[in-house]
Amino acid sequence: MEEFARPTVEVNTYKKANTLKAKVLETKILYRENDDNDVRHIVLDAQAMNYVDGQSVGVIPPGLNEKGNPHAVRLYSVASLASRMPGSENLMLCVKRSNAVDPASGVKYLGVASNYLCDAKVGDEITLTGPAGRKFLLPVAGDIDRPYVFIATGTGIAPFRGFLQRLFKHTPEFKSPVFLLFGVKTQAELLYNDEFSEYKQANFHYFKALSREMKNPSGGRYYVGDLIREHGEKLWPAIGNERGIIFMCGLKGMEEGVSNAINELAKAHGAGDNYYQSIEHRVVEEVY
């Protein structure tokens, strides 16, 4: 089976040798657990860059690494609508501050780019490259009216913010079902929850998995795979439809749970074993 047709997009207009300086217009905390753990919504003035929702931009932190070389480019998913669409917003990023502690030594390792972005103030200039990515895109405009299952964990929710805006605010004739399955640890970590809850379209279905606050039928933690099992009867017409597309973004560990749940659902509907493997042409993943 062939994959669906994606639009032609610009990539790498701005490179390390030809970067874009983007001014910080807004920064706000979406979730804060403590001084070492917060997630921020950052708005940048990057109007010169022609990006599409689903693409990523590269961030180059200032200074040098431990080897005395410029820092490597770190990619972040665009959390806003395509830049050239009517009424589009500025470039938005959803950034989790990355910190790790060595259990043996107790030494704290700070994520260079994420801390740089989370500490940036309004008026600061961020050095960007990109846009990057040709795969994690909605289909071409003439073929966009399809069923969608969007599956996210944590800051993997970022690209779906732009996708939902495109489908429900900029595609007047869109009528197909859209499912958003969002997995985080706690209710407080449901990034953009108020915004997603405002979509009242009958064809939009928003399901949440809170791993530390919900239990699955076996008494274990509740993940996005458990959402597929619980809401399988609603999801199957979209998953089982050859035109349906599954987009997955977030932590790599969710892949196994999602594929197992889909295979169980498919088998219950007489679609045989290893169904997930047979639909990989319409599964688009961006995991890390």
User: How confident is the model over 171-202, as pLDDT tens digits?
Assistant: 999 999 999 999 999 999 999 999 999 999 99
Domain co-membership, 111 together with 217: no
The verdict on residue 12 lying in a domain is no
CATH at 128: 2.40.30.10
Domain tally for the chain? 2
Pair of tokens at residue 32:
């804060």
Domain co-membership, 267 together with 158: yes
Domain co-membership, 49 together with 92: yes
Domain range for 231 is 141-287
Q: What is the Cα–Cα distance from 38 to 40, expressed in whole angstroms?
A: 7
The verdict on residue 187 lying in a domain is yes
Domain co-membership, 35 together with 118: yes
Domain co-membership, 146 together with 192: yes
Q: Find, among 155, 178, 169, the residue nearest to 234 by Cα.
A: 178
The verdict on residue 3 lying in a domain is no
The verdict on residue 5 lying in a domain is no
- In this structure, the number of other CB atoms found within 10 A of the CB of residue 94 comes to 23
Pair of tokens at residue 107:
């030494």
Domain co-membership, 275 together with 145: yes
pLDDT tens digits for range 104-156: 777 777 789 999 999 999 999 999 999 999 999 999 999 999 999 999 999 99
Q: What is the Cα–Cα distance from 171 to 115, expressed in whole angstroms?
A: 36
pTM here is 0.95
The mean per-residue pLDDT over the stretch 254-281 comes to 94
pLDDT score at 39: 96
Q: Cα separations (Å) of 54 from 59, 116, 183, 249?
A: 16, 23, 19, 10
Decide which of 98, 114, 132 is a domain's last residue: 132
The verdict on residue 33 lying in a domain is yes
pLDDT score at 174: 97
The verdict on residue 8 lying in a domain is no
Domain co-membership, 146 together with 275: yes
pLDDT score at 33: 81
pLDDT score at 66: 86
Contact 7, 52 (CB under 8 A): yes
Domain co-membership, 177 together with 94: no
Domain co-membership, 95 together with 27: yes
Decide which of 132, 160, 193 is a domain's last residue: 132
Decide which of 82, 104, 132 is a domain's last residue: 132
Domain co-membership, 95 together with 225: no
Tell whether the model's pLDDT for residue 35 goes beyond 80.
Answer: no
The verdict on residue 176 lying in a domain is yes
Q: What is the Cα–Cα distance from 74 to 272, expressed in whole angstroms?
A: 41
Calculate helix-pair angle for 232-239, 254-268, nearest 10 degrees.
90
Domain co-membership, 212 together with 248: yes
The verdict on residue 126 lying in a domain is yes
Domain co-membership, 209 together with 245: yes
pLDDT score at 94: 98
Percent of the residues in the chain that have a pLDDT greater than 90, as a whole number: 86
